[in-house]
Chains A and B, each alone.
Chain A
Amino acid sequence: DNRLTQSPSSLSASVGDRVTITCRANEIIRKLLNWYQQKPGKAPKLLIYSTSTLQIGVPSRFSGSGSGTEYTLTISSLQPDDFATYYCQQSHSSPWTFGQGTKVEIK
């Protein structure tokens, strides 16, 4: 299986901060890497697919980049609505896998 490792597992940040979450894969995933946001008690929401394509309706403060085995999600200026858990997920090779999640908390 192509294991995805997110770092950090959690972080504390303030409104307005720039936040970066990294997702590392065991094997090359050719940019088939997606990011999700999940709030407590809710289903996950797709933010970015294929590394860098913003899903419709997602604010432009979210961006994604990467290649090979290393990918990042960046929130340019953290907003109150962004405190949540974020997951990366690869669809390059079966079984498709998720990272373990990164919880973004208020400092």
Chain B
Amino acid sequence: AQTVTQSQPEMSVQEAETVTLSCTYDTSESDYYLFWYKQPPSRQMILVIRQEAYKQQNATENRFSVNFQKAAKSFSLKISDSQLGDAAMYFCAYRRATSGTYKYIFGTGTRLKVLA
């Protein structure tokens, strides 16, 4: 069965600094998607960034980028120039790309605090 592990329950970063959130996953599939979601205190989840497993190029979205290491089954999120609005829970998620179960699997989350 696939699993997603976020080993950092909480992280802090100084405003304008860079922080990296870790995510590892376990799967026997070769084709899958990976996601990072942000959940601010209001609890509405927002997609931050996504990655196709077959693409070696790391995805980037403005200040957000990922370090995707397929062999190591690692998918970390880097937030550059951190802003107060980045404070939230961040969830890593996995979904297989082939037909069959479409189940998304989420990690337990990392709470990011941004210090002014």
Indicate whether A and B interact: no
- On A, residues with C-beta under 8 Å from B are none
